Structure 1
Amino acid sequence: KKGESGNLFKILNKKPSDIIAIFGPEGGISPKEIEFLEANSFILAGLGPRIMRAETAPLYFLASLSFALELS
């Protein structure tokens, strides 16, 4: 559910030097996985309210990344 109010735009506006993208299955990342990521200082950002296929989400992310860091 965190992805529904994703803060990806805010994060990319800060022009981070390192980005690690983790994509879960179509059902989402489990609460246990989220807890692990947060405990290891990951900043979570969703792709918005739409549910995407596992094959589509990385392409959507790369397009967003390219726009935010290279074109804007």
Structure 2
Amino acid sequence: MKSFRWGTDADIEKLTEGYTHVFESTFETTQGIAEYVAHPAHIEYSNLLAPALEKVLAMDYQSNSVQL
């Protein structure tokens, strides 16, 4: 994992559809994502956390820089 960030809902437009938190992990490669997801510590933590969550949305994406 290259970086990890998280935050809580600050949506003034009310478009979050009930989601309250965001957790963003950055990886160098898609292989790195696969290794993280399959890691026993990640699986154990996910199994402990899952019962406390009402709903989850997970997305893997490749970011693109935009020059403004």
TM-score in terms of structure 2 length: 0.34
Structure number with the bigger relative contact order (C-alpha 8 A, sep ≥ 6) is: 1
| Greater fraction of residues in strand | 2
Larger Rg: 2
Name the TM-score, length of structure 1 as normaliser.
Answer: 0.33
